[in-house]
């Protein structure tokens, strides 16, 4: 049995995946603007030897439901939401080995400036930073950036392809490995002959400039991606190292997992190129009864309204226009293609609003896994064996209680079974997860083509 990887999944806001739980009296996510909230969370994750703390992000608001952002604002459904990069330096200071994943949207961030921001974080974390590549799916984000609407779905990925070419040139090719000398006697910090300007003339980007940061431990940060559409899977097979999926069962996940690994092989990257992680919500107790009681306690605080606002924007359909038993019509939108397909053309039978709401046990579309630590460990082990995944992205419920419960109750059981590490491996984040002699991308990755040394 392979050693699983586990990440804590969060967002710099009060309402992330399981909506409404910020109203629980023990929940502390309303402290998301306090830096010590984040440092405490990071220390808990590292105490449990979790591989990383992963921060999602959006740059718009959920305003499709009832054609208004009012429901999202009222219920705290990922609004207000703060910048995900800001807390990472502080969390890195209070930890030594925990990795960090941060979401940044390629559609709206200039690549030259993002290259410096992520290189800076890679330096400050000593090589523990990963970047989750997203192209966005909200028209509200596009309007905020001065556009009438967001570009078409596949066009966003075409832009992301060129965006990554620019970043790879900056991260991998602008500075030689031995360019920085730090020679105090000679007064030479870096050798200009080993530093070069990046030139790019493309369909969407045109730039010329020297990367402003010296080479960081990983150079290119660990690359995360979560696109589940056909175009997104092609993109992931070429570029991603860690891929997030959100399947309801191991049986549903298996063809997705096999397809992603096949795409990576098609791009010449090999069988070990990907780490695939499934989204999971866990409610654990010292006994099954305690876990069930906890679930019922949490459930009283879940918000269906917030979840419907989130889901409407995800699929680009205003669910407030449907009756409870009216089938959701198959259609094409410019939002999240995989989420839309799951309830239309991929569904075994027509999906109704009632069926969607029935899934919303804790204010999200994802039913939680509930049980004792041993039962949770059994479930995770089954996923690894039957789905062929490498690990999990754990959505929070009541924060930080849900993370502490997992660390204190489930992690020891997984460790006893040899399913989870007893301690961290050495080196930068990429080296921890994939091994090797450094934290650099392997030669088979497309970024390696832009190296000068």
Domains and CATH numbers, the chain: 5-444 (3.20.20.30)
Q: Please, what is the angle between helix 250-266 and helix 373-387, to 10°?
A: 40
Cα 61 to chain center, whole Å? Answer: 18
pLDDT tens for 394-444 read: 999 999 999 999 999 999 999 999 999 999 999 999 999 999 889 999 999
CA dihedral 372, 375, 379, 380 (to 10 degrees): 60
Which pLDDT does position 145 carry in this prediction? 92
* Among the listed residues 363, 9, 310, 17, the one whose alpha carbon sits nearest the alpha carbon of residue 138: 310
Which pLDDT does position 328 carry in this prediction? 83
H-helix or E-strand containing 308? helix 304-315
DSSP secondary structure, 138-189, as one string: -HHHHHHTT-SSPPPHHHHHHHHHHHHHHHHIIIIISB-TT-EEEETTTTEE
Residue 229, classified by CB atoms within 10 Å of its CB into exposed (0-12), middle (13-18) or buried (19+), is: middle
Q: Please, what is the angle between helix 153-168 and helix 111-124, to 10°?
A: 60
Pairing of strands 391-395, 5-11: parallel
End-to-end CA distance of the chain: 38
CA distance 343 to 355: 10
Q: What DSSP character marks residue 187?
A: T
- Pull the structure tokens for residue 160: 């992301």
- Pull the structure tokens for residue 148: 């009438």
- Number of helices (H), then strands (E), belonging to the chain: the values are 16, 13
Q: What DSSP character marks residue 54?
A: E
Query: 104 - beta bridge partners?
Result: 133
- Pull the structure tokens for residue 194: 């080993």
φ, ψ of residue 114 to 5 degrees: the values are -65, -35
Q: What is the mean pLDDT of each run of 10 residues along the chain (453 residues)?
A: 93 96 98 98 98 97 96 97 98 98 94 98 98 93 91 90 98 97 98 97 96 98 89 94 95 94 95 95 98 98 96 91 86 63 59 87 93 98 97 98 98 98 97 93 96 78
Report angle CA 82, 364, 349 to the nearest 5 degrees. Answer: 135
Which pLDDT does position 141 carry in this prediction? 94
Under a CB-based contact definition with an 8 Å cutoff, are residues 121 and 210 in contact?
no
Cα 405 to chain center, whole Å? Answer: 22
CA distance 241 to 235: 11
CA distance 56 to 158: 22
pTM, rounded to two decimals? 0.94
* Among the listed residues 253, 208, 198, 188, the one whose alpha carbon sits nearest the alpha carbon of residue 387: 253
- Pull the structure tokens for residue 375: 């039962």
CA distance 26 to 400: 9
Which pLDDT does position 437 carry in this prediction? 87
CA distance 91 to 102: 13
Q: What DSSP character marks residue 294?
A: H
Which pLDDT does position 335 carry in this prediction? 61
Which pLDDT does position 266 carry in this prediction? 95
Which pLDDT does position 168 carry in this prediction? 98
């Amino acid at each position: 049995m392979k050693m699983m990887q586990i990440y804590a999944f969060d967002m710099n806001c009060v309402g992330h995946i399981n909506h409404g739980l910020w109203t629980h009296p023990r929940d502390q996510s309303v402290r998301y603007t306090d830096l010590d909230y984040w440092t405490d969370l990071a220390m808990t994750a590292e105490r449990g030897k979790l591989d990383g703390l992963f921060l999602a992000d959006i740059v718009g608001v959920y305003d499709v439901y009832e054609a208004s952002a009012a429901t999202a604002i009222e219920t705290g459904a990922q609004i207000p939401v703060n910048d995900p990069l800001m807390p990472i330096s502080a969390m890195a200071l209070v930890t030594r080995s925990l990795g960090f994943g941060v979401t940044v949207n390629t559609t709206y961030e200039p690549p030259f400036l993002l290259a410096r921001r992520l290189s800076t974080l890679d330096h400050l974390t000593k090589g523990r930073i990963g970047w989750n590549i997203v192209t966005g799916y909200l028209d509200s984000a596009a309007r905020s950036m001065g556009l009438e609407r967001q570009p078409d779905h596949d066009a966003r990925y075409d832009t992301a392809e060129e965006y990554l070419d620019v970043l790879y040139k900056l991260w991998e090719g602008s500075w030689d490995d031995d360019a920085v000398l730090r020679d105090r006697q000679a007064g030479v910090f870096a050798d200009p002959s080993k530093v070069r300007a990046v030139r790019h003339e493309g369909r969407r980007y045109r730039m010329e400039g020297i990367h402003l940061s010296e080479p960081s431990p990983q150079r290119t940060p660990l690359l995360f991606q979560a696109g589940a559409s056909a175009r997104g899977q092609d993109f992931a097979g070429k570029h991603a190292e860690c891929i997030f999926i959100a399947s309801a069962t191991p049986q549903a996940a298996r063809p997705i997992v096999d397809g992603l690994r096949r795409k990576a092989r098609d791009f010449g990257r090999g069988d070990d190129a990907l780490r695939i992680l499934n989204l999971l919500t866990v409610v654990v107790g010292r006994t099954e009864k305690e876990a069930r009681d906890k679930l019922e306690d949490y459930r009283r605080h879940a918000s269906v309204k917030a979840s419907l606002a989130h889901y409407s924007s995800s699929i680009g359909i205003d669910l407030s226009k449907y009756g409870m038993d009216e089938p959701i019509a198959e259609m094409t939108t410019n939002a999240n293609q995989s989420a839309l397909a799951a309830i239309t053309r991929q569904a075994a039978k027509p999906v109704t609003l009632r069926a969607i709401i029935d899934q919303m046990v804790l204010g999200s579309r994802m039913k939680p896994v509930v049980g004792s630590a041993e039962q949770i460990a059994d479930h995770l082990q089954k996923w690894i064996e039957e789905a062929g995944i490498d690990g999990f992205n754990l959505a929070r419920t009541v924060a930080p209680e849900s993370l502490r419960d997992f660390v204190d109750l489930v992690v020891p059981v997984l460790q006893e079974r040899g399913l989870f590490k007893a301690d961290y491996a050495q080196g930068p984040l990429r080296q921890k997860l994939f091994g090797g002699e450094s934290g650099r991308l392997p030669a088979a990755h497309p970024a390696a083509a832009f190296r000068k040394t």
